[in-house]
Structure 1
């Protein structure tokens, strides 16, 4: 069984987290059954960007990197406290350890800034939110990443980054394919209505 840690800082975007729960969940139920997802929060109760309250299964202090095969990280909004929570030292250390072990790290939109803040994108290709004057892409570049400004999804070794919420399902399917196979992922896409 391949286990995915869905890391949820306070202020995350619910839609960006839900694609991981749905794609991994659909695979567990209707695909090859080889994956499961565990929601891991930075606190016991989280408030999403638009005031949706979530209670994760576990908090970060209760898990180790060794328990998981992959890390999934949604983005969030500064005004909702996302960066304040996501840039905590324990979050950044958790990401560094996933990378040190060569495990898959998949992020959506500004989730890439958290990976960048951890230092593991130094000299590596990545992207993040591409609109609003590309402010977030410039921020990621200042963290040492080689920003690919016009690529919706960028994969550099074990790290997947994307440039806005519209890429969310594609990132989740890319993660599933990395954990299983293209054939299985295409089957899940078909069952979910993404392929005819």
Structure 2
């Protein structure tokens, strides 16, 4: 079984709950079931402060990333009030997203993590979703990028997974695991974790 790496990108003001699910689900699959799956974290700086002020040290900075080394990119959402879009909309990150997409890699996002995908242009005329509450204002923003916005908890279009609120985070991580392994193997891990 070949080893596969997932790159989790942390923009400033990311949500910790939306980030941690990828670490845990992939970790359970590797440690408890022997899957050759690994997570590497990445950001613009070696330390990133989450929405609720939790500092996280990452494995790599964006300049160190070689997309060919990864099977997937995972993007937790974050709060605009704390500066999420300052980094999520940075051209260097948008270029990274475009490269993952151009090379046919899996891209999994939670909540507002879909907005940089929209901004990058890779969701044009594709189905996706993002944060749906507060009169759907984030979904309206996503629609402005030419996206066919679906007001559903999880939307999968090809190898792109998007979701509409923090509650969906575990499901996104399991969908990512399914794409990296199989439905049967994902179900085993999901049950072991009590879902």
Q: Please give the TM-score of this superposition, normalised by the length of structure 2.
A: 0.97
Q: Distance in 2 between matches of 1:31 and 1:165?
A: 27
Q: Distance in 2 between matches of 1:10 and 1:42?
A: 9
Question: Aligned match of 2:118 in 116, 123, 126?
Answer: 116
Q: Distance in 1 between matches of 2:99 and 2:28?
A: 28
Q: Deviations over 1:19-46 (max 9, x none)?
A: 0000011111012422110011121110
The count of corresponding residues between Structure 1 and Structure 2 is: 193
Q: Deviations over 1:107-165 (max 9, x none)?
A: 0000000111111000000000000010000000001100002x110001111000000
Deviation at 1:191, TM superposition (A): 1.2
Q: Distance in 1 between matches of 2:33 and 2:168?
A: 22
Q: Distance in 1 between matches of 2:104 and 2:12?
A: 26
Deviation at 1:193, TM superposition (A): 1.1
Q: Deviations over 1:57-89 (max 9, x none)?
A: 111111111110000000000111110011111
Aligned to 2:8: 6
Q: Distance in 2 between matches of 1:29 and 1:8?
A: 24
Structure 2 residues not aligned, in runs of 5+: none
1:43-192 aligned at under 5 Å gives the runs 43-149=45-151, 151-192=152-193
Q: Distance in 2 between matches of 1:92 and 1:120?
A: 10
Q: Please give the TM-score of this superposition, normalised by the length of structure 1.
A: 0.97
Aligned to 1:35: 37
Regions of 4+ moved over 6 Å: none
Q: Contact 1:124/1:156 (CA < 8 Å) preserved in 2? A: yes
Q: Contact 1:32/1:184 (CA < 8 Å) preserved in 2? A: no
* Structure 2 SS opposite 1:183: helix
